[in-house]
Structure 1
Amino acid sequence: MKHLQPREAWAWLQAQADAPPEQRPLFVDVRMEIESLYVGRPPGVVNIPWYEYPDLTPDPQGFARKVLEEAGSHTRPILLICRSGKRTLDAGAALEAAGFTDVAHVVHGFEGELDEHFHRSTRNGWRFEGLPWEQM
């Protein structure tokens, strides 16, 4: 799995914007749907949760199946994002175990690491870097 800093991930997505859809990276938000909708998310991201409320239990095979349905093939590049870059490590490993050949994740995720006041988006992450995002 490739580890991309937020700006690297955004640059990669932009560089591939004119590629045929089946070759363009599939950008997947692995957070729960409520997180993605209300906390905010990058534009163009597809939400496929690694786990969901109320179980909060990952289903690696089910997750990989849903990503494959959206991606169309195991060779399409996949870019994963979560809150802080932790869930994407497990989700990416599950995709690689399922046969995906080009998996990357956004280091520090959308909100980044906690600071000394237990706040996010103050040290690193997609939002901290000032990259495009939207919110319900």
Structure 2
Amino acid sequence: MQELLPKQAWDLLLERTQDAAEGAGDPPLFVDVRMEIEFLYVGHPPGAQNIPWYEYPAMTPDPAAFVAAVERAAGSRHRAVVLICRSGKRARDAGQALAAAGFGEVVAVVHGFEGDLNEALQRSRSNGWRFDGLPWEQM
């Protein structure tokens, strides 16, 4: 599994999507592993599909179910998968499950969508997708 900073991940997504448009394979599957409510109301990168690593109320990952859902969305374990979450931890954990299941190219976005907490216990103030000014949308 590879870990990339948000800007590096965005560049990879853009480059591989362009390559796919020119006939060089499939674009990466971009997966937001946060809970649905986070995905919808906090916001998400454009083009990301929401496949939660865990969901309320259980709040417990089911790696086998997650891997199966990603495989359905990807169509193949050979397709590159880029994962993002709030701060990077769930993306890393989910990425390790995908790599262990035989996915060939898995990328986790370091610092995630909102980034690490700062001294005032606020996110999106020191790093992360939104902090870096990358595109995002919300419901």
In the alignment, structure 1 residue 2 sits paired with structure 2 residue 5: no
- The amino acid that maps onto 2:10 is W
TM-score when normalising by structure 1? 0.97
C-alpha RMSD of the superposition: 1.1
Which residue is equivalent to 1:63?
66
For residues 67 and 124 of structure 2, the distance between their equivalents in structure 1, rounded to whole angstroms, comes to 29
Which residue is equivalent to 1:89?
92
In the alignment, structure 1 residue 40 sits paired with structure 2 residue 43: yes
- The amino acid that maps onto 1:4 is L
Which residue is equivalent to 1:107?
110
For residues 78 and 22 of structure 1, the distance between their equivalents in structure 2, rounded to whole angstroms, comes to 13
For residues 9 and 51 of structure 1, the distance between their equivalents in structure 2, rounded to whole angstroms, comes to 23
**How much has 1:87 moved relative to structure 2?**
0.6
For residues 111 and 43 of structure 1, the distance between their equivalents in structure 2, rounded to whole angstroms, comes to 15
Deviates more, 1:22-31 or 1:125-134: 22-31
**How much has 1:21 moved relative to structure 2?**
9.1
Please state whether the residue corresponding to 1:92 is helix, strand or coil. helix
* Identity %, equivalent residues: 62
Gaps of 5+ in 1: none
Stretches of 4+ moved more than 6 A in 1? none
Please state whether the residue corresponding to 2:17 is helix, strand or coil. coil
For residues 24 and 114 of structure 2, the distance between their equivalents in structure 1, rounded to whole angstroms, comes to 28
For residues 63 and 26 of structure 1, the distance between their equivalents in structure 2, rounded to whole angstroms, comes to 14
- The amino acid that maps onto 1:30 is V
For residues 112 and 98 of structure 1, the distance between their equivalents in structure 2, rounded to whole angstroms, comes to 27
Please state whether the residue corresponding to 1:17 is helix, strand or coil. helix
TM-superposition CA deviations, 1:62-93 (whole Å, max 9, x none): 00000000000001000000000001111001
- The amino acid that maps onto 2:17 is A
**How much has 1:22 moved relative to structure 2?**
5.8
Number of paired residues?
136
8 Å CA contact 2:17–2:26 kept in 1: the answer is: no
Deviates more, 1:102-111 or 1:17-26: 17-26
- The amino acid that maps onto 1:70 is A
**How much has 1:98 moved relative to structure 2?**
1.1
